[in-house]
Amino acid sequence: MTKDPITNIILTRYCNSVNIQASNNDMALDFMELPGLFKDGKLVTEGIRVYMTHEHARLMANAILSTLQEKNLEAGKGKSKV
């Protein structure tokens, strides 16, 4: 038996828009694909909502920013515009 956790990705979606809401206790991130699809004559935007604590949201934001900065530097773009 291994002590290392195994990742089991249960859902994969494309996202080109995010709506972020914050309460006193946590954050809600709605990841959506725009412009959406027409269903029964109405424009429906499907998405996934992820809840996390403020601290985990900060960790995620820092991880995204550092990854983007690294990729920009690797691509020879010099200083990151992020």
pLDDT of the residue at 3: 85
- The answer to whether position 2 is within a domain reads no
pLDDT of the residue at 54: 97
Count of domains in the chain?
1
- The answer to whether position 61 is within a domain reads yes
- The answer to whether position 62 is within a domain reads yes
Cα 53 to the center of its chain, rounded Å: 14
Q: What is the mean pLDDT of each run of 10 residues along the chain (82 residues)?
A: 86 94 97 94 95 97 95 73 58
Counting Cα atoms < 13 Å in the Cβ hemisphere of 55 gives 0
- The answer to whether position 38 is within a domain reads yes
- The phi and psi torsions of 73 (rounded to 5 degrees) equal -70, -40
pLDDT of the residue at 80: 52
Q: Which residues form the domain of 52?
A: 17-74
pLDDT of the residue at 1: 64
